[in-house]
């Protein structure tokens, strides 16, 4: 089955004519984004065979084409993989082409123009490959460090596979690397981010929630002096509980799903008030926040407690992450926070270094919110200045390892990026934000919903030295683990589209094996299972 055969609406790519003698000429074609937000996809058809959660594959037989439980693949009409590969990705790519055409029309230098026209031609080729469901070819060697990781994985596991029959996770990630390649082989546009405008724009349309948080949290946090020790501990626990949820629900604004959302829609999703959070807590279907608090209390006893964020989306979600991280520092729980972002534009809204810098600088120097009061702008500036100061002092560190933008799941982190595993093993808590990170932790496969989180994340829980890992994820795709079976049964029966609406969430914790010496096996994939 080809993607184009299943795809109702997608953006028409611009037509690029190439001749030997003259530079190519671009004629942008009109783009027709979908009228509805993709969130209203509704029910997915039922899975055709009787799959009742058989046991997982034995570890030695697990590989990227054969996850522990059956993989989701684009041709599975019952899964969100199908809608994504056949409909959402071509739409996203069409909008990306629009963005580049807009940039092209703002250029005056002929070399830069011709170079960018060639990038657009490559994007059009990618659109043809995607909608024509061609086989996955190696990534062109653009001199970047991740090439061996990509091409080794393609050669070892995906020879002859196409966009629709490769596991969804790999095929989707591959599309974003191919999109990056359209620019990485250019001369002037190597770091061009086709989603940058969208990311900034959505943050600028989030003013209500942005100021709700800045007005509350810009002043340095301190305990009320009149409280006794028990009351102080309870006050700090309550704050932790609230801010963990602010951080969690910040993940519901994901640009790849929110195409065409109105400002009102965004406001509803971003409500950060205490009452709203209490009401939405019942939507956290697997809720380890109480256990997470016990972990955090232990960290606060350490003189050098470190917490890592494996970041997800830029803009409002990153802002919520930073509000949380700010409080974790101010309350004395952590002495250092390390943030891990992406090396290039990834899954539309993910944080890159440029997004990180943009957020902190726009808070201090920007004029994004013309309607804001002086007090609101002051609060945003004060918070931005404090965050920049954390960076200068090394209390906050931003990093970007190539592994985060590969098609590997985190079951392969220790084997494919042992340096990252070792680095994370020294953390006291690693918070994985969002849906894609959750898919990668759990191998994005059809594990039964009641599968314990530890089991679903395999080596990230069971390897010696594995740090405590927590997934803060609003549910936006098929894989769901760590929730009671009866809850999944009820939602499957009563609520169409519950796995893709972003209305439900999980906060799942694995204790890991911290403190044990990390050892790497020279051979074999999961030697420590
Ligand atoms: O395209 C599907 C997807 O990869 C899903 O995982 C999710 O719906 C979205 O894109 C990314 O979500 P997040 O930004 O939370 O990782
Ligand atoms: Mg994302």
Give 356-413 pLDDT, tens digit per residue.
999 999 999 999 999 999 999 999 999 999 999 999 999 999 999 999 999 999 999 9
Strand partners, 66: 63
Domains of the chain: 67-185 (1.20.930.60), 198-510 (3.40.50.10880)
pLDDT higher than threshold 90 for residue 12:
no
Task: Using DSSP, state whether 161 is helix, strand or coil.
Answer: coil
Residue 134: CB atoms within 10 Å: 15
3-state secondary structure 127-155: HHHHHCCCECCCCCCCCCCCHHHHHHHHH
Tell me, in angstroms, the distance from the centre of ligand 1 to residue 39's CA.
Answer: 12
Per-residue confidence at 222, pLDDT binned at 50, 70, 90? Answer: confident
Nearest-CA residue for ligand 1 atom 4 is 436
Per-residue confidence at 226, pLDDT binned at 50, 70, 90? Answer: confident
Q: Mean per-residue pLDDT for 453-475?
A: 97
Q: Mean per-residue pLDDT for 338-349?
A: 98
To test the pocket of ligand 1, the residue of 44, 313, 321, 476 to mutate (highest count of ligand atoms within 8 Å of its CB) is 476
Cβ atoms of residues 253 and 268 within 8 Å:
no
pLDDT higher than threshold 90 for residue 516:
yes
pLDDT higher than threshold 60 for residue 51:
no
How far is the C-alpha of 191 from the C-alpha of 346, rounded, in Å? 12
| pLDDT at 528 (0 to 100) | 45
Q: Name the E strands within 145-251.
A: none
| pLDDT at 29 (0 to 100) | 42
HSE-CB at 153 with a 13 A cutoff on CA atoms is 24
Q: Mean per-residue pLDDT for 263-276?
A: 60
265/321: higher pLDDT:
321
Ligand 1 nearest-atom number relative to CA 438: 16
Torsion of CA 200, 437, 173, 268, to 10 degrees: -40
79/274: higher pLDDT:
79
Q: Is 435 close to ligand 1, i.e. is its CB under 6 Å away?
A: yes
Q: Is 406 close to ligand 1, i.e. is its CB under 6 Å away?
A: no
pLDDT higher than threshold 90 for residue 270:
no
Tell me, in angstroms, the distance from the centre of ligand 1 to residue 443's CA.
Answer: 14
| pLDDT at 525 (0 to 100) | 55
pLDDT higher than threshold 80 for residue 55:
no
Q: Is 440 close to ligand 1, i.e. is its CB under 6 Å away?
A: no
For the chain, what is the mean pLDDT?
Answer: 88
How far is the C-alpha of 376 from the C-alpha of 290, rounded, in Å? 33
Tell me, in angstroms, the distance from the centre of ligand 1 to residue 347's CA.
Answer: 7
Tell me, in angstroms, the distance from the centre of ligand 1 to residue 318's CA.
Answer: 15
Q: Any idea which ligand is nearest the CA of 351? A: 2
253: left (phi over 0), alpha (psi -120 to 50) or beta: beta
Nearest-CA residue for ligand 1 atom 6 is 436
Tell me, in angstroms, the distance from the centre of ligand 2 to residue 255's CA.
Answer: 8
Cβ atoms of residues 507 and 292 within 8 Å:
yes
pLDDT higher than threshold 80 for residue 66:
yes
Nearest-CA residue for ligand 1 atom 3 is 436
Strand partners, 73: 167
pLDDT higher than threshold 50 for residue 32:
no
Task: Using DSSP, state whether 71 is helix, strand or coil.
Answer: strand
Q: Is 169 close to ligand 1, i.e. is its CB under 6 Å away?
A: no
pLDDT higher than threshold 60 for residue 17:
no
pLDDT higher than threshold 50 for residue 263:
yes
Q: pTM for the complete prediction?
A: 0.89
Q: Any idea which ligand is nearest the CA of 85? A: 1
Q: Is 436 close to ligand 1, i.e. is its CB under 6 Å away?
A: yes
- Residue range 134-173, pLDDT digits in tens: 999 999 999 999 999 999 999 999 999 999 999 999 999 9
């Amino acid at each position: 089955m080809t993607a184009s055969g299943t795809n109702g609406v997608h953006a028409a790519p611009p037509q690029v004519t190439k001749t030997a003698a003259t530079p190519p000429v671009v004629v942008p074609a009109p783009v027709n984004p979908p009228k509805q937000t993709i969130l209203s996809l509704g029910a997915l058809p039922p899975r055709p065979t009787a799959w009742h959660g058989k046991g997982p594959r034995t570890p030695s037989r697990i590989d990227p084409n054969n996850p522990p439980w059956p993989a989701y693949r684009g041709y599975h009409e019952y899964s969100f993989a199908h809608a994504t590969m056949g409909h959402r990705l071509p739409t996203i790519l069409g909008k990306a082409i629009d963005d580049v055409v807009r940039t092209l029309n703002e250029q005056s230098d002929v070399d830069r123009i011709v170079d960018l026209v060639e990038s657009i031609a490559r994007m059009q080729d990618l659109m043809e490959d995607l909608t024509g469901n061609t086989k996955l070819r190696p990534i062109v060697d653009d001199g970047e460090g991740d090439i061996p990781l990509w091409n080794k994985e393609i050669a070892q596991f995906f020879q002859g596979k196409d966009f629709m029959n490769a596991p969804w996770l790999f095929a989707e990630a591959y599309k974003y690397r191919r999109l990056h390649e359209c620019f990485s082989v250019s001369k002037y546009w190597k770091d061009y981010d086709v989603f940058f405008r969208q990311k900034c724009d959505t943050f600028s349309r989030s003013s209500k929630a942005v100021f709700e948080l800045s007005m509350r949290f810009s002043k340095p946090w301190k305990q009320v002096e009149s409280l006794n020790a028990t009351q102080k501990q309870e006050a700090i626990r309550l704050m932790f509980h609230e801010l963990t949820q602010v951080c969690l629900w910040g993940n519901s604004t994901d640009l790849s799903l929110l195409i065409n959302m109105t400002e009102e829609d965004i406001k509803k999703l971003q409500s950060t008030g205490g009452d709203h959070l209490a009401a939405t807590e019942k939507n956290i279907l697997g809720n380890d926040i109480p256990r997470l608090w016990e972990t955090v209390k232990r960290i606060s006893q350490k003189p050098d407690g470190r917490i890592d964020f494996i970041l997800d989306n830029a803009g409002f979600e990153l802002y919520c992450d930073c509000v949380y991280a700010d409080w974790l520092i101010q309350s004395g729980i952590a002495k250092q926070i390390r943030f891990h972002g992406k090396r290039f534009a990834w899954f539309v809204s993910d944080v890159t270094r440029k997004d990180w810098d943009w957020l902190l600088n726009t808070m201090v120097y920007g004029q994004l919110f013309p309607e804001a009061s002086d007090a609101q702008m002051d609060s945003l500036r004060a918070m931005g200045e404090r965050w920049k100061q954390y960076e200068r002092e090394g209390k906050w560190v931003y990093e970007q390892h190539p592994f985060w933008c590969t098609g590997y799941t985190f079951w392969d982190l220790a084997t494919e990026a042992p340096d990252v595993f070792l680095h994370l093993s020294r953390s006291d808590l690693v918070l994985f934000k969002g849906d894609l990170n959750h898919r990668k932790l759990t191998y994005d496969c059809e594990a039964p919903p009641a599968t314990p989180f530890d089991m679903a994340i395999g080596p990230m829980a069971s390897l010696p030295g594995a740090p405590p890992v927590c997934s803060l994820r609003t549910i936006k795709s098929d894989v769901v683990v760590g929730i009671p079976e009866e809850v999944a049964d009820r939602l499957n029966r009563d609520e169409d589209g519950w796995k893709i609406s972003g209305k439900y969430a999980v906060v799942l914790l694995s204790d890991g094996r911290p403190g044990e010496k990390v050892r790497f096996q020279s051979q074999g994939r999961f030697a420590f299972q």
